Amino acid sequence: MKLMLIAPTWEEAHRRKMKGKAFRLPQLALPLIAALTPEWEVSLVDENVEDVDFEADVDLVGITTMTATALRAYTIADRFRARGVKVVMGGIHVSALPHEALQHADAVVVGEAEGCWHRVLEDFKRGQMRGIYRSERLPDMAGQPLPRRDLLNEKAYIITSVLQVARGCPFGCSFCAVSYFFGRRYRMRPVREVIAEIRSMQAKFVGFLDDNIVGDHRYAKELFQALIPERIIWVGQASSTIARDDELLRLAEKSGCKGLFIGFESLSDESLGEVGKRFNRVQEYREVIQKLHDHGIAVEGAFIFGFDHDDPGVFERTLEFAKKSKLDLAQFGILTPLPGTPLRAKLEWEGRIISNDWAKYNIGHAVFRPKQMTPEQLEEGMQWAWREFYSLPSIFLRLMRLGRRMPLTFLPLFIINASYHKMVYDAYGRRGWDRTVSGSGSLGSV
C-alpha cells in the first residue's frame, strides 16, 4: 500500500521568500513515521521545498500540522478527500484542536504518534478509522527506529544530518506548546543510541533539533562527553542555564559545539515572570553571551515583543542590547497565543484575541490586543528590529568583531547574516520607522 506524508507550507507568500536554503532544515516527525511504516511504500513531501502532487496514486495521506500551517493543511486534506483518499492528521495544532481538524480528516492523532500509529494503520486496512487516536502513554525514547532520511530531498536543505535526543520540557512557559504536546517530563534517548545514529549519518556537521539540549545537565554532560571522540561540529538550542555550569560549557566546547540558539525572550524580569520563564535572569544575559563566546560558541538570541509590560520603547531597548551584547545572530517575534497554551486561555478570558486566522499565528502578526501599544505598533516595531539588526552597517560591525574573536566561524556567520539580510528586506522592505505608527521614535533603516 502507498502512503504519502506531507508537511504543509505556511500560507503567506512572504514566508516562502524567507525560506532560503541557508535556513532550511528538515522536520524529523515524518521521516520517523515513515520508519514506523516499513511494510508500506512511503513518499514524503515537504511543501516548503517541493509541490504536492494531488493526483498521485496513494492509498493514505498523513499530514503534520502546526498552527501557522493549519489552513493550508486543511486545504490539502480536503483536496485528497474529494478524490476519496483517506487522510490522517497529526501535530501540535491538531492535538490542541482535534475536533476542528476532524472536519477535514478521517482521523487525527493527538500527541506523539509512535504509541498509536499501528492502530491507525490497522483500522485503515479494515475500513474502520475511529476519528481520534491517542497513545496510552508517552512513547519510550529508547529503541526508536532511525528516521527515513533517504526520503528527504537532500539538495533542498542546508543539511539533513539532524536529530533529536530528548522530548518534553519541565519549565512550562505559558506561551510555549512544547510542554502540553510532549509533556513536562524531560525524556531522553540512551546516549549510545544517539551516538549510533550520528555514526549512521556519516556526517561531520550535525544539527540537534531539541528545544533545549541541556534540559537535564547530567544527561547533557554524558552526551557531550560521548560526542568528543566523534570529532563532529554541531549546533543546537539551549536555555540560558548552560552558562551557570562551567563543566557543561567546557564539555560543550570539547564536543564540537559551534553555535547555540537561546531564547532570551525579554529584557524585563516582569515579562519573564508573566509567562513563567523565571529561570531566565536578565542580569546574567551579557555574561551568558560572553561565556559562550569564550568557549568559541556563537550565539543566536531570540526575543519576543508584546508582553503586557512592553511599552513602545521596547524595540529600541532590545535592539540596543542585541547589538551591544555582541550577539552573532538574532531573531525577533511577536507573542503568539497558540491553541492549547495557558497564554491562549488567559487572553481569551480577557477578551483580547482579535484574530483566529491561523495563518497569522506565525510570530509575525499581532493576533491579540497588546496592553501598551496598538497591534499595528507591535507589528511595525518587530519589523523595524529585524531590519535594523540585519542592516548592512550592523552586519559589517558585527562581522568585524567576530573576525577577531572567532575567526573559524566567520565564514558561516557571514553567509547566515547575509541570508538574513536578503530574507528580511524581501519580506519587510526598506522603509524606516514612522513616528506616527510606532509612537516611540523615528528610526531609519539602511
What residue ranges in 185-324 does DSSP mark as E strands?
187-188, 205-208, 233-238, 257-265, 298-305
- How far apart are alpha carbons 233 and 125 in whole angstroms? 44
Give the count of beta carbons closer than 10 Å to the beta carbon of residue 175. Answer: 22
**Can you state the angle between helices 410-428 and 375-389, rounded to 10 degrees?**
140
Residue 182 clears pLDDT 90, i.e. is over it: no
User: What is the band of 404 on the pLDDT scale with cuts at 50, 70, 90?
Assistant: low
Cell of 446: 539602511
Average confidence (pLDDT) over 168-195: 85
Q: Residue 65 and residue 427: Cα distance in Å, rounded?
A: 23
Question: What is the distance between the alpha carbons of residues 45 and 152, in angstroms, rounded to a whole number?
Answer: 8
Residue 437: what pLDDT? 41
Per-residue pLDDT tens digits for 303-313: 999 999 999 99
Q: What is the pLDDT of residue 445?
A: 31
DSSP letters, 239-258, are -GGGGG-HHHHHHHHHTTEE
Confidence of residue 6 (pLDDT cuts 50, 70, 90): very high
Selected residue with higher pLDDT from 419 and 180: 419
What mean pLDDT, rounded, does the chain reach?
Answer: 90
Please report which confidence band the pLDDT of residue 2 belongs to, taking 50, 70 and 90 as the band edges.
very high
Q: How confident is the model at residue 196 (pLDDT cuts 50, 70, 90)?
A: very high
Going by pLDDT thresholds of 50, 70 and 90, the confidence category of residue 438 is very low
CA distances from 437 to 39, 375, 378, 384, 440 (A): 58, 10, 10, 12, 9
Q: What is the pLDDT of residue 264?
A: 96
Q: What is the mean pLDDT of residues 167-178?
A: 82
Contact 273, 313 (CB under 8 A): no
- pLDDT band for position 19 (50/70/90)? low
Among 90-94, 219-223, 406-410, the range scoring the smallest mean pLDDT is 406-410
**Which grid cell sits at 87?**
487522510
Q: Does pLDDT of 13 surpass 90?
A: no
Residue 176 pLDDT: 83
Give pLDDT tens digits for 47-104: 988 999 999 999 999 999 999 999 999 999 999 999 999 999 999 999 999 999 999 9
pLDDT band for position 408 (50/70/90)?
Answer: low
Q: Is the pLDDT of residue 436 over 60?
A: no
- Alpha-carbon distance 318 to 423, whole Å? 21
CA geometry: angle 241, 399, 325, nearest 5 deg: 35
What DSSP designation does 69 have? Answer: G
How sure is the predictor about 403, in pLDDT bands with cuts at 50, 70 and 90? low
Structural domains for the chain: 2-134 (3.40.50.280), 161-357 (3.20.20.70)
State whether residue 384 is helix, strand or coil: helix
* pLDDT classification of 319: cutoffs 50, 70, 90: very high
Q: Is the pLDDT of residue 210 over 80?
A: yes
> Tens digit of pLDDT for each residue in 358-402?
999 999 999 999 999 999 999 999 999 999 999 999 999 888 877
Which pLDDT score is estimated for 154? 87
Cβ atoms 258, 297 nearer than 8 A? yes
Residue-level pLDDT at 23: 65
Quote the CA–CA distance of 177 and 325 in Å, as a whole number. 29
pLDDT, one tens digit per residue, over 254-297 is 999 999 999 999 999 999 998 888 889 999 999 999 999 999 99
Cα–Cα distance for residue pair 323/311, rounded to 1 Å: 20
**CA 16/CA 49 separation, integer angstroms:** 9
- Tell me the mean pLDDT in the region 4-23: 65
Look-up of cell digits 558585527: 398
